[in-house]
Amino acid sequence: MKQANQEEPHLPFQIRDQHGAARAVAYLMLAASPYNIITGVLMKLGDPLPELIAVTVTAVAFLIIGLICLRRPRVMPRAFWVSLPVLSALAVTGLNYATEDTTVGAQLFYLWPLLFAASFLSRWVIAATVVTISGGHALVAYSFTDTSRAMSDWIALTVAMAMTAFVVTNLRERNDRLREVLEAQATSDSLTGAANRRAFDESLTKAVRLGGTIALVMVDVDHFKTINDTWGHATGDRALCAVADALRSAAPDGTSMVARLGGDEFAVLLRAGPGEALAYAEKARTTLGTTTDLPGGPPQLSIGVAVLPDHAGSAEELQRVADTALYQAKAGGRGRSALAQGRPPRHNVDQVPEPDPFTVA
């Protein structure tokens, strides 16, 4: 679990959207295989046999890689995806050199590794791809054309590829920023900046699936309607922001999620045991008590704490037990915390459950 809106660390050789990358590779390889057979073998049956064999082997390799990327992309190692643009640029260079082809049509095949790198990989890999394309074309151009034309073609291709990479990369990063903004808006509360109900439900389900100890802290602002009625809704909003700030301030970094479930109700997920979770609740209450910019003073909090697996065995049961603990805190006089004790007994439909015992702090 992480605090809402906390970004994942960026890795210099991390591939983004592996599914999309796998599809891009698969479609290219499945198209390149018959293309090479037709243009490199069937249309050149009179060429030397070693050249025809080399092109055939390359086409078969393209077909195999394409099928793997289409059907089982996860079996390919991470190094494959990262090195693919450079290897593809080298393959295009090899084919151009073998066929002594310096035409514009042959050079256009460099676009695929360039666009793949610019769409799915980091700037380091993009730069390496541009350098490989530039060097590869220089080798072919200087080998089969005069120096003046080779230099002109090489400079033109290098500038075109560099500008293409720059434009595509910047468009991709702009789209990434827009997507991050939309994701933040979809998963956070606009008033307090805390996670919203949707993000909370997803994080709780994921945390339970991963296993381990999970503490759920349910928080309710005492007499919030009175705050709104007495001081106005603007002050009520400031009070809610102060509560969210206190809950975040008291939480351990990187191991918690603070969410506003609606109205004056908050929830906090912690990787903590019962004692630590109860201590967190009291720390949050103490932190909120230092607020001095509210006309009616800082609001009081009623807090219910439940821990999985100590008090519950599922996400739904954990929420139910924590809610019951919260109501127990309110019944005990508000402005306090209640910790659930033991897992609730199971009952059949004909039995009435006994009240759960709680410890009130």
Catalytic residue IDs:
264
- What are the structure tokens assigned to 136, written together? 């590869």
Structure tokens at 328: 């127990």
DSSP string covering 86-100: HHHHHHHHHHHHHHT
Contacts of 30 by beta carbon, 8 Å cutoff, 6+ apart: 62, 63, 66, 67, 70
CB atoms near residue 86 (< 10 Å): 18
The residue assigned the tokens 């759920």 is 216
Q: Which two tokens mark 258?
A: 């603070």
Q: Closest Cα to residue 269, out of 260, 278, 281, 257?
A: 257
The structure tokens listed for 323 are 């809610």
DSSP 44: G
Asked whether the beta carbons of 116 and 85 are under 8 A apart, the reply is: yes
What is the rounded CA–CA span in Å between residue 340 and residue 126? 55
CB atoms within 10 A of CB 139: 16
Q: Residue 108 — φ and ψ, nearest 5°?
A: -65, -25
Can you read off the two tokens belonging to residue 11? 């890795």
What 3-state DSSP class applies to 146?
Answer: coil
| CA atoms of 82 and 64, how far apart (whole Å) | 19
CA distances from 196 to 52, 184, 223, 341 (A): 62, 10, 22, 28
